[in-house]
């Protein structure tokens, strides 16, 4: 018996004790009908070969370890960015349990969202009654100022009509006639979570600007000189949106952050649970029509929203999750151009500090090879920053990246000598990436938590940047945008590089001559 009260052994120690090792070996040998060790080794080695890679890349139907989620997740992400808004997902209830868990595991925060809990009878007769009853219950219990309705694949397959259902529910008195219930169809079998974000954002603006589904007059645009800002689906939303506000305030730019979920996913522990906190007010959402311009920080999260806003007469600009000096420069210069406000000296100083930090450290990053995967915009932003640091992106993969993204990535990589050996993989998954890391190894991998399996299998050190990050805490509180955000990303990359050098040089009398105290 190894367990003891004084020094309680956790799972990672307990099951390495001799009595457990023997038990597990016996279990395998006697009852599991295991694959012979030699055969296991043969296949394991075979999965590392170019031959295997060829078969792996020939896949047409099977997806293994994708780096994307479904539309409804993005729908919830967008909805909670509005003041006291309850996301209401029309369809099966298990989906909502999944979205809530997923966000809570990333942000370490509560995630509030309801379902219309459709079951077999709704599959046959449609979910109208679920909508009628569901809106009434949500409104009574959770006292939202707005309910944002989206769908699961079940409701989409049976063809439920949200517009008609919501009208019907209002007629039945589920919520007051003038209560805001914007909606968006978000089928899980189209696009990914970034598509769902896009659809819900567009749905909310259409609701406020275009006459609330025929129940109010359309708003008439009267430009007021402000600018709108949309962050997109972003695991760093808490840190990033606050940083953007700080920057825009420094510039004296009157602005509205649309879909500001930075507070609801960062509430204090002070004895009170805040189901809602912060967010874009409904008034701001409506009045954002009058802005002169709208900036999207993630082009591929706003593919429908931004053209819609443009059609209202806004000047629009889209970025690709800008990280680093030049990307931030472009962002600030665009804000300055749109608003006529100069970029203040304080920001120039922040820029100088980031440049200084890069100069101090670039010798350790220069020429290092990287693989990156994640959402299309994030991949773009990170690849740009890596090349700025003198690092070489080698594989860039976005499961939810399309043809347009591929072209744009290639153009970016072609713009720098550091991008010349890089390949772009739209629509591929992390099992493809596994092959790539074996056949064309890199020094570091950048990706979300699931990248740890690639790190384990291929030995490529993982720098966790992306969504979701479940197994490291609180990084979402730090910005990756702005010069300060660039500093954070730089430090995360450097920390891993230095940790790896130390790890590779710490064997006494063998490698520790390089175990330097100063680097």
Partner 1 sequence: MSLATAEKLEDIKARNKEVIAEVLEAYPDKFAKRRSKHIGTFEEGKPDCGVKSNIKSIPGVMTIRGCAYAGSKGVVWGPIKDMIHISHGPVGCGQYSWAARRNYYIGTTGVDTFVTMQFTSDFQEKDIVFGGDKKLAKIMDEIQELFPLNKGITVQSECPIGLIGDDIEAVSKAKSKEYGGKTIVPVRCEGFRGVSQSLGHHIANDAIRDWVFDKQDGKAARFEQTPYDVAIIGDYNIGGDAWSSRILLEEMGLRVIAQWSGDGSIAELEATPKAKLNVLHCYRSMNYISRHMEEKFGIPWVEYNFFGPSKIAESLRRIAGHFDDKIKEGAERVIAKYQPLMDAVIAKYRARLEGKKVMLFVGGLRPRHVIGAYEDLGMEVVGTGYEFGHNDDYQRTTHYVKDGTLIYDDVTGYEFEKFVEKIQPDLVGSGIKEKYVFQKMGVPFRQMHSWDYSGPYHGYDGFAIFARDMDMAINAPVWKLAKTPWN
* Residues 445-474 within binding reach of partner 1 (CB under 8 A): 450, 453, 457
Question: Judged by CB under 8 A, does residue 63 bind partner 1?
Answer: yes
Question: Judged by CB under 8 A, does residue 179 bind partner 1?
Answer: no
Instruction: Classify the phi-psi angles of 117: left when phi > 0, otherwise alpha if psi is within -120 to 50, otherwise beta.
Output: left
Question: Looking only at residues 270 through 289 of this chain, which bind partner 1 when binding is defined by CB under 8 A?
Answer: 270-274
Is the Cβ–Cβ distance between 280 and 260 less than 8 Å? yes
Helix (H, G, I), strand (E, B) or coil at 372: strand
Applying CB under 8 A, among 18, 38, 120, 311 the residue interacting with partner 1 is 120
Question: Judged by CB under 8 A, does residue 176 bind partner 1?
Answer: no
Residue 282: CA count within 13 A, CB half-sphere:
16
Question: Judged by CB under 8 A, does residue 498 bind partner 1?
Answer: no
- Taking the complex as a whole, the smallest distance from the CB of residue 138 to partner 1 amounts, in Å, to 4
Is the Cβ–Cβ distance between 339 and 223 less than 8 Å? no
Question: Looking only at residues 22 through 41 of this chain, which bind partner 1 when binding is defined by CB under 8 A?
Answer: 23-24, 27-28, 30-35, 39-40
Applying CB under 8 A, among 84, 85, 117, 287 the residue interacting with partner 1 is 117
**Interface with partner 1: number of residues (CB under 8 A):** 110
The encoded tokens of residue 123 equal 């599959």
Q: What is the DSSP letter of 509?
A: T
Question: Judged by CB under 8 A, does residue 69 bind partner 1?
Answer: yes
Long-range Cβ pairs for the range 9-13 (8 Å, 24+): none
Cα separation values, 427 from 347, 356, 363, 369, 491, Å: 38, 37, 34, 22, 30
Applying CB under 8 A, among 77, 79, 82, 92 the residue interacting with partner 1 is 92
Residues in Cβ contact with 372 at an 8 Å cutoff, skipping those fewer than 6 apart = 379, 382, 383, 386, 393, 395, 396, 397, 445, 446, 447
Applying CB under 8 A, among 126, 145, 157, 501 the residue interacting with partner 1 is 157
- Beta carbon nearer to partner 1, 115 or 148: 115
What is the distance between the alpha carbons of residues 330 and 334, in angstroms, rounded to a whole number? 6
- Beta carbon nearer to partner 1, 136 or 219: 136
Question: Judged by CB under 8 A, does residue 16 bind partner 1?
Answer: no
Residue 391: CA count within 13 A, CB half-sphere:
29
- Cβ neighbours, 10 Å, residue 29: 10
- Taking the complex as a whole, the smallest distance from the CB of residue 205 to partner 1 amounts, in Å, to 25
- Beta carbon nearer to partner 1, 36 or 507: 36
Applying CB under 8 A, among 82, 88, 444, 478 the residue interacting with partner 1 is 88
What is the distance between the alpha carbons of residues 147 and 75, in angstroms, rounded to a whole number? 12
- Beta carbon nearer to partner 1, 176 or 271: 271
- Beta carbon nearer to partner 1, 133 or 254: 133
Binding mask 123-152 for partner 1 (x = CB under 8 A): x-----xxx-xxxxxxxxxx---------x
Planar angle of CA 465, 470, 475, nearest 5 degrees: 50
Is 157 among the residues known to form the active site?
yes
What's the longest Cα–Cα distance across the chain?
Answer: 81
Q: Give me the phi and psi of 445, to 5 degrees please.
A: -120, 135
- Beta carbon nearer to partner 1, 431 or 478: 431
Question: Judged by CB under 8 A, does residue 246 bind partner 1?
Answer: no
Question: Looking only at residues 374 through 433 of this chain, which bind partner 1 when binding is defined by CB under 8 A?
Answer: 431
Nearest Cα residue to 132 out of 182, 178, 174: 174
List the beta bridge partners of residue 90: 151
- Beta carbon nearer to partner 1, 66 or 344: 66
- Taking the complex as a whole, the smallest distance from the CB of residue 157 to partner 1 amounts, in Å, to 4
- Taking the complex as a whole, the smallest distance from the CB of residue 69 to partner 1 amounts, in Å, to 5
Question: Judged by CB under 8 A, does residue 70 bind partner 1?
Answer: yes
Residue from 80, 153, 253, 424 carrying the catalytic annotation = 153
Applying CB under 8 A, among 81, 182, 187, 374 the residue interacting with partner 1 is 187
Question: Judged by CB under 8 A, does residue 224 bind partner 1?
Answer: no
Active site residues: 153, 157
């Amino acid at each position: 018996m190894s367990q003891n009260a004084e020094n309680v052994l956790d799972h990672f120690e307990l099951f390495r004790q001799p009595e457990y090792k023997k038990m597990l070996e016996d279990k395998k040998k006697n009852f599991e009908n295991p694959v012979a060790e030699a055969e296991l080794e043969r296949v394991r080695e075979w999965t590392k070969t170019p031959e295997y890679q060829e078969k792996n890349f020939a896949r047409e139907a099977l997806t293994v370890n994708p780096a994307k989620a479904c539309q409804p997740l993005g729908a919830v992400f967008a909805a909670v960015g509005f003041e006291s808004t309850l996301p209401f997902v029309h369809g099966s209830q298990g989906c909502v349990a999944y979205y809530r868990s997923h966000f809570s595991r990333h942000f370490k925060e509560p995630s509030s969202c309801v379902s219309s809990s459709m079951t077999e009878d709704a599959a046959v007769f449609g979910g109208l009654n679920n909508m009628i009853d569901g809106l009434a219950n949500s409104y009574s219990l959770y006292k939202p100022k707005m309910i944002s309705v989206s769908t699961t694949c079940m409701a989409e397959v049976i063809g439920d009509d949200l517009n008609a259902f919501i009208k019907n529910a209002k007629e039945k008195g589920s919520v007051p006639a003038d209560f805001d219930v914007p909606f968006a169809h978000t089928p899980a079998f189209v696009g990914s979570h970034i598509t769902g974000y896009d659809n819900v954002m567009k749905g909310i603006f259409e609701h406020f600007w275009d006459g609330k589904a025929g129940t109010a007059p359309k708003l008439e645009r009267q430009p007021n000189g402000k600018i709108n800002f949309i962050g997109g689906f972003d695991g760093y939303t808490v840190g990033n949106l606050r940083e953007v506000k700080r920057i825009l305030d420094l510039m004296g730019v009157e602005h509205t952050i649309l879909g500001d979920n930075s507070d609801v996913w960062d509430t204090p522990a002070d004895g009170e649970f805040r189901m809602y906190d912060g967010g874009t007010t409904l008034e701001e959402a409506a009045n954002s029509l009058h802005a002169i311009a709208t900036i999207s920080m993630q082009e591929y999260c706003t593919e429908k929203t931004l053209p819609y806003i443009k059609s209202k007469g806004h000047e629009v600009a889209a970025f690709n999750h800008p990280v680093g000096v030049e990307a931030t420069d472009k962002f600030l210069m665009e804000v300055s151009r749109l608003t006529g406000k100069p970029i203040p000296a304080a920001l120039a100083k922040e820029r100088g500090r980031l440049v200084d930090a890069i100069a101090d450290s670039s010798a350790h990053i220069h020429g290092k090879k990287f693989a990156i995967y994640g959402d299309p915009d994030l991949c773009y932003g990170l690849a740009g920053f890596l090349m700025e640091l003198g690092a070489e992106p080698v594989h860039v993969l976005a499961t939810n990246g399309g043809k347009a993204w591929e072209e744009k990535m290639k153009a970016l990589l072609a713009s720098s000598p550091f991008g010349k050996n890089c390949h772009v993989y739209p629509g591929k998954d992390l099992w493809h990436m596994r092959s790539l890391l074996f056949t064309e190894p890199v020094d570091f991998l950048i990706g979300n938590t699931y990248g740890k399996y690639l790190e384990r299998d291929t030995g490529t050190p993982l720098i966790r940047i992306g969504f979701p990050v479940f197994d490291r805490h609180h990084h979402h509180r730090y910005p990756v945008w702005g010069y300060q955000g660039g500093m954070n990303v730089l430090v995360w990359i450097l920390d891993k590089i230095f940790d790896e050098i130390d790890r590779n040089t710490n064997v006494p009398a063998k490698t520790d001559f390089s175990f330097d105290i100063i680097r």
